[in-house]
Amino acid sequence: MLLDGIETLLVLAKEGTMSKAGTRLYISQSAVSKRIANLEKRLGKKLIEPAGRHIQLTATAKQLIDSVEPSYREMKGLIFEQQDIQDTSLITIACSETLVAGYLSDILGAYIQKDPHLSVFTQQTPFIIESVSSGDATIGFCAGHLPPQHGIVARHLIDEQFTIVSAAPLDSAPTMLLTNDLKNSANTYQAAILQKMGIQPMMEMDSYTAAAKLALGGVAPALIPMSVVKTLNIRAQHCHHFDFLNELTRPVHLCYRRKSYQSKRVKQLIETIADFVPTATLSP
């Protein structure tokens, strides 16, 4: 029961509401509330407070999360490593949305004919690292800078180039850009480079696809990785390169627990993706 309470608190901290936490844990909202109440009773301290439709963590809850989350994630990962991956065991891939569209979609259709026991779900890079660390995902396929001291294998594949997508021709770098979420730790490095160039983020999106479509609609130029240019088949006349973009490459990694690579099926899937990505044609 204690571990159930800890897991529920960690999920609740990320999701922000009882209902979302319940969906993530596949339990009812009332079950989430009961688990938190039992944990509060066990600790003798208040962990959450209502904040409109959301919940707010108390200082005690934040301290508890900081203390136990790394160990809890590692414990889950160690338990995951004890499971044998059989021929019919499900292999899960946590993947950045742009990488699903730009890379996996090109190879997974044929691959899944040979190995149908695969599942893909999309997450942002920081959560992909957590999913692999905890064993919630077998493989992570992520873009952007990784958090430090993640404790898993991070295999660098490429540094993906960016372009500036614009509906109108550009003779010089714009002073304002549509960007992806710069508060995401995988993307924060971009903010300093843009600031150095005197470029301000006009809007920060959760989706490069959305930013690209707004740019093509004439809202403002957008900073877009080449895999999205390929996926959306954006024409060359809408893509513009400037020298500062050479600093804005985003690293693409495959992540996995070292022991997972000992499985023949996992290794084969990792090597298939690793061989394909550097050779993929990313020009628009």
Q: Are 194 and 150 in contact (CB under 8 A)?
A: no
Per-residue model confidence as pLDDT tens digits over 128-171? 998 998 888 999 999 999 987 778 999 999 999 999 999 999 99
Decide: 260 and 129 in contact? Cβ < 8 Å: no
Angle at 38 between CA 32 and CA 41, to 5 degrees: 140
CA 21 to chain centre: 18
**Per-residue model confidence as pLDDT tens digits over 33-86:** 999 999 999 999 999 998 888 889 999 999 999 988 888 878 877 777 777 788
User: pLDDT tens-digit profile of 214-258?
Assistant: 999 999 999 999 999 999 999 999 999 999 999 899 999 999 998
Asked if the model's pLDDT at residue 284 lies above 50, the reply is: no
Over the range 242-259, which residues count as b (16 or more CB within 10 Å of their CB) and which as e? eeebeebebbbbbbbbee
pTM recorded for the entire structure: 0.78
Confidence (pLDDT) at 148: 79
